[in-house]
A and B are shown apart, each in its own frame.
Chain A
Amino acid sequence: MRIQDVPDGDLAKRGTGGDREAFGELVARYAAAARRVAHGVLGDPDDADDAAQDGFLLAWRHLGRYDPARPFGPWLMRIVANAATDRRRRRRVRQAEPLSPAAAAPDDSPADVTDRRAFYSALRDALATLPERQRKAVVLFDVEGYSHREIGEVLGVPEGTVRSDVFHARRALRSHLDAWKDWKGKNG
Chain B
Amino acid sequence: MNDLNAFDHAPDSELGSALRAALSAADDDTFVRDVMARLDQPVTSWDVLGTWVRPGLAAAVVLTAMAGFWLGRAVHPATQPVPVEEALTVTAGNGTMTALISAESPPAIDVLFQSTNDDH
Show the binding face of A for B, using Cβ within 8 Å: 20, 23-24, 27-28, 31-32, 35-36, 39-40, 45, 48-49, 52-53, 56-57, 60, 100-103, 116, 119-121, 123-124, 127, 138-139, 141-143, 145, 148, 163, 167, 170-171, 173-174, 177-178
Contact = CB atoms under 8 A, between A and B. Distances in A.
A129 B31 CA distance: 27
Contact of A145 (B11, B24, B28): B11
A53 B31 CA distance: 8
B1 interface: yes
B31 A103 contact: no
Given A53-B35, A142-B12, A174 B6 contact: yes
Contacts of A145: 11, 16
Given A102-B26, A142-B11, A174-B15, A24 B38 contact: no
Interface string B75-117: 0000000000000000000000000000000000000000000
Task: Pick the 5 closest A-B CB pairs, nearest first.
Answer: A142-B16, A120-B22, A101-B26, A102-B24, A36-B23
A148 B9 contact: yes
Contacts of A174: 1, 6, 12, 15
A138 B16 CA distance: 8
Contacts of B19: 36, 40, 123, 127, 138-139, 142-143, 173
Given A170-B1, A171-B6, A36 B32 contact: no
Interface of B: 1, 3, 6-7, 9, 11-16, 18-26, 28, 31-32, 34-36, 38-39
A23 B32 CA distance: 10
B23 A40 contact: yes
Best-buried of B9, B32, B34 by chain A (most CB within 10 Å): B32
A116 B26 CA distance: 17
Contacts of A39: 23, 25
Given A57-B38, A167-B7, A174-B1, A143 B32 contact: no
B22 to A, nearest CB: 4
Nearest to A46: B25
A101 B31 CA distance: 15
Contacts of B28: 28, 31-32, 35
Nearest to A24: B36
A60 B18 CA distance: 31
Nearest to B47: A57
11 contacts: A27-B36, A35-B23, A39-B25, A56-B35, A102-B25, A139-B19, A139-B23, A142-B15, A171-B1, A171-B6, A174-B15
